[in-house]
Every structure is written in structure tokens, then in C-alpha cells.
Structure 1
């Protein structure tokens, strides 16, 4: 249990900017398994902020901007930076130069456009969703990180070094899928506690989550021949944004 606890703390330190006492021992090897749980925790924290701002009388759009700003703050922009670098790399016509461009610390026009699209979609969707958004935020953030775990397991890592390299070398599959599957089942089942009649829509939403998270990983692998830490971040960000947008559809109003 001590080993798993240190991994959990390591996941919080690596994937978030949440402060932990420096005296607490952490372990980074194998933390990918806890990504979806970190996402759920962050989603609940953001939902609490969302609820508080709504209670203070913030308009829907101001509330949405503030929550998305906190979203970036609590993740340190880690995944958003990866999505921006990935967009810059994919914009290069020569496939052999894509990884070189992605490694460049300078942000290009396509990276900026990707960030605007992702943040704009999240703000717009949050402004439409009900103010608390506990379930929606926890769901999309868990799904985004599940897509990352899948990409780590299924595709080669393209760089000898980098922030994401140790994920591939230290993770153990298929057992590392367990925690992520559990959290997805728990969060997907929540609407059933209100009424059982929503199960067809939930089943459809589950299929949509699989399609988006798996599809993005496969598409990026096809474009690059594998994955890097940047593409892991891109999967997280685009899965979150797409699913959050889909949750505004009337069919998914649970």
C-alpha cells in the first residue's frame, strides 16, 4: 500500500500544480495508471469552483472563463503545451521534420490556433452546462487521461528522452488499465443513481468516449509513427474539449 500511495502522490506532483509537503515521499515510476483518478480529482475541484462562482452571481461566461483559467493553472499548462507543440509539428509537410518542430520551444501559428480552439470550446461548453458541472468536468478529465494511458500502452515512444519517456519504460500493462477502468465505470454510472432510464444515452456516451480517446491516439500514431509526451498532452486536451462540447447536446442532458 505504501508503494501505491507514493505513486499516487507522484502522479499529483507530476500532473498538477497542487502543493504537497516536501517531506512526503513520492514515486514517479508507473504513475500513468493514476492519470484518470487525477483527472477525476481535478474535475471535482474545478466543479466546486464553478459552483462557488455561480453562487456568487457570476454570469455564465465569466464563470466559464474563470474555471478554464483555473483548469490551466492546476495542470500547469502541461497538456495544453503538448497540444500546441503537436499542432505545430503536424503542420509541417515533411514528416521527417515533425518531431524537430515539436521539440522547438517556440510556439508557431498552428500551436496558437490549437490553443484558441481548445480553450474556446471549453469556455463555450461550460457556459452552456449547468453551473455545478460536477459530473461533466470529472467525466471529461478522466476520459482524457484514459486516452493517454491507452496511447502509452499501445504505441511506441519516439524520443529517447523527454517528459513522457519514463511512462513507457516504467508502466506495466495490462494491469495499469485497472485503476482507469474503475474510475471510468464509477463516474459513468453516476447518472444511473438518479434514474435508470438514461442507460441508452450513457452507453452511447461511453462509445463516444472510446471513439474519441482511442481514435486520437491511433490518428497521431499514423501521422508520426508513434507518440511523445507532447502527443500524450494533445490526446488529453482534445478529448476533454470534444467530450465537453458533446455533453451540451440535449441527448446527454442527464
Structure 2
């Protein structure tokens, strides 16, 4: 790939077109292959993460519907849907949540980033993964109606929360995958893209399922609040964000929103 020209003084660094960035976001955030001839670029892919989340959510809803038509029990198919989501994303966000949990378990703030950079998962990371997967599975199984809408909304809100965290909080490492995201982010238009997508999802949901307005409202308000609060809490604990905490923002926003939706 031909490198992009450097930015002039006082200008933001250039980035490729949206189609090339969409290809890069698919390769970065999932394990899905691209058709031949699609030339991906990775500069500025973060704003398209909610778009990828929407596509993944719709795909998982389709799998859930097919398994339900085959007569599979709700709890079993909920576990398969959550597990498939982890597989399709390559565990990217879950790994970040595990590393973040290991870092937050360290009492000395000066050593937290080093603990998060360790490739070996600690006890707190394993417990975080069990909690996330268990809560997601049980919450999804409890949603007798509207489970598809909540699942799609959770995947969009989680990734929108990541975009806000990239735009709003300092990046704590001198280099890394997260640094690329922050360097090519355009604020506020990039986080407004994901917000508009989330609002559109809830609008279509309310239009198609007027009997689920309470659930739509909980998902809308809860998703917005949780996406913002999760990133803010991690910033307060660490003084900024890393690529791992971006993943933790996605996972915990999804998990807590699914749990919150069971109140409806």
C-alpha cells in the first residue's frame, strides 16, 4: 500500500476514502475476509466501528432466528450466539477487557500499564471474561421479546463508546494500535456518525415494533449513558485509555446494556 503524504503544519493528517477504510475496519475488527480487489486502509477506521457492529449484530440476529426456528432452547442458542460473536471478532475486545481487568487489579498505579501489556492472562482477567460471557448469555436468554433489537443496539453502542473514548481521553502509550486510531480521528463528526447510526437503529426498531417502546427507550437511554460512563470510569481509574481499555469499553457497555434490558 502506498503511504499517505504527511500533513502540513497546522493541518490534520490525511486519510483514505471511506470504502478503503471500511475494508480496513472489517479486517481489523473481525476475522472476516475481504473480496479480492478490495484494497483496505487502516488510517481512520475507528469511526466505522459502529457500522461493523451493526453488521455483526444483524448477522448474529439472523443466526439466532435460524436456531430458534430449528427448535433450539433459548439458553443454548443464546450461548452459541454470544460465542459466535467472540469468534467472529477474534476475541479482540474481550482480550482487551481481560487485560484491563488485570491492570486494574494492580494496586500500584505506576505498574498498571505494564500488567496490561503482559501477554499472559491473570486471575482477574479470566474472572472478567467469565463474568462478561456469563452475563451476556444469561441476559440474552432472559429477553423473551426484543432480543434482536437489544443485541444489535448493544453492539452499536459499545463501539460508539469506544469512538468517544478515543476522541475524548488521552492515549497512554507512545505507540500501539490505539495510537493509530487517535491520530486519524476527526472530532466531532466521527463520533456523531456512530451516534446517528445508533439513533437510526432505535428509530427503525420503534417503528417496526411499537409494542416494544419501553424496551426501545431503555436501550436508547441506557446505551447512551453506559457508553459514556464506561469510558469515563476507565479514564478516571487509569488517567487515560489504551487499546485494551477501548476493548473493555466495548465489552462492558454491551454486557451492562443487555443486563439493563432485562428490566423491561
- TM-score grouping bracket, smaller chain normalisation: over 0.9
Q: Work out the CA distance in 1 between the residues paired with 2:85 and 2:209.
A: 30
Query: What count of residue pairs does the alignment treat as equivalent?
Result: 249
Q: 8 Å contact 2:199–2:220 — kept in the other structure?
A: no
SS in 2 for 1:187: helix
**Equivalent of residue 100 in structure 2, options 66, 86, 111:** 86
Q: Work out the CA distance in 2 between the residues paired with 1:227 and 1:28.
A: 20
The aligned counterpart of 1:34 is: 48
SS in 1 for 2:189: coil
Summarize the Cα distance change of 1:232–1:72 in structure 2 as closer, same or farther, 3 Å threshold: same
The aligned counterpart of 1:143 is: 157
**Equivalent of residue 164 in structure 1, options 178, 197, 207:** 178
Question: Given the alignment of the two structures, is residue 239 of structure 1 paired with residue 260 of structure 2, yes or no?
Answer: no
The aligned counterpart of 1:176 is: 190
Summarize the Cα distance change of 1:48–1:200 in structure 2 as closer, same or farther, 3 Å threshold: closer
**Equivalent of residue 201 in structure 2, options 172, 179, 187:** 187
Question: Given the alignment of the two structures, is residue 218 of structure 1 paired with residue 217 of structure 2, yes or no?
Answer: no
Q: Work out the CA distance in 1 between the residues paired with 2:24 and 2:211.
A: 40
Q: CA deviation at 1:34?
A: 0.7
Q: 8 Å contact 1:209–1:243 — kept in the other structure?
A: yes
1:201-247, CA deviations, whole angstroms, 9 ceiling, x for partnerless residues? 64454232222111111111111110000000000000001101111
Summarize the Cα distance change of 1:190–1:130 in structure 2 as closer, same or farther, 3 Å threshold: farther
The aligned counterpart of 2:115 is: 101
Q: 8 Å contact 1:60–1:131 — kept in the other structure?
A: no
The aligned counterpart of 1:47 is: 61
Q: CA deviation at 1:161?
A: 1.7
Moved more, 152-161 or 202-211: 202-211
Structure 2 matches for 1:5-24, cutoff 5 A?
5-24=19-38
Moved more, 133-142 or 197-206: 197-206
Summarize the Cα distance change of 1:213–1:90 in structure 2 as closer, same or farther, 3 Å threshold: same
Q: CA deviation at 1:195?
A: 6.0
Q: Work out the CA distance in 1 between the residues paired with 2:161 and 2:146.
A: 25
Q: Work out the CA distance in 2 between the residues paired with 1:150 and 1:93.
A: 27
Q: 8 Å contact 2:25–2:48 — kept in the other structure?
A: yes
The aligned counterpart of 2:91 is: 77
Instruction: Give unmatched runs, 5+ long, in structure 1.
Output: none
Summarize the Cα distance change of 1:60–1:199 in structure 2 as closer, same or farther, 3 Å threshold: closer
Moved more, 132-141 or 222-231: 132-141
Measured on the aligned residues, the alpha-carbon RMSD in Å equals: 1.8
